[in-house]
Amino acid sequence: MVNIGLLGLGTVGTGIVQIIEDRKNYLQKLIGTEINISKILIRDMNKKRRIGIHEDKLTTDFSEIVGDQDIDIIIEVMGGLEEAYVYIREALNRGKHVVTANKAVVAKHLEELTFLAREKNKAFLYEASVGGGIPIIKQLKEQANLNNIQEIKGILNGTSNFLLTKMIEEDLDFKEALKMSQKLGYAEADPTDDIEGYDTRRKLRILTTIGFKDRVKEESILCQGISSIKTIDIQNIKSMDCTIKLLGTATLKDNKYYALVEPVIIKKNSYFGKVDYATNLVSFVGNKVGELRFYGEGAGSFPTANAILSDVIDIILKNYHKNYSLESNDLDNINKLFQGRYYIRTTLENDTKDKMIRYINEKEITDKLITKEKDVAFITKKILKKEIENIISKFNIRTENYFIGRLEV
Catalytic residues: 203
HEC string for the chain: CEEEEEECCCHHHHHHHHHHHHCHHHHHHHHCCCEEEEEEECCCCCCCCCCCCCHHHEECCHHHHHCCCCEEEEEECCCCCHHHHHHHHHHHHCCCEEEECCHHHHHHHHHHHHHHHHHCCCCEECHHHCCCCCCCHHHHHHHHHHCCEEEEEEECCHHHHHHHHHHHHHCCCHHHHHHHHHHCCCCCCCCHHHHCCHHHHHHHHHHHHHHHCCCCCHHHCEECCCCCCCHHHHHHHHHCCEEEEEEEEEEEECCEEEEEEEEEEEECCCCCCCCCCCEEEEEEEECCCEEEEEEEECCCHHHHHHHHHHHHHHHHCCCCCCCCCCCCCCCEECHHHCEEEEEEEEECCHHHHHHHHHHHHHHCCEEEEEEECCEEEEEECCEEHHHHHHHHHHCCCCHHHEEEEEEEC
Give 368's contacts (C-beta < 8 A, 6+ positions apart): 378, 379
95: nearest Cα among 68, 122, 116, 115:
122
End-to-end CA distance of the chain: give it in Å, rounded: 55
CA–CA distances in Å: residue 391 to residues 213, 218, 294, 346, 353: 36, 26, 38, 10, 12
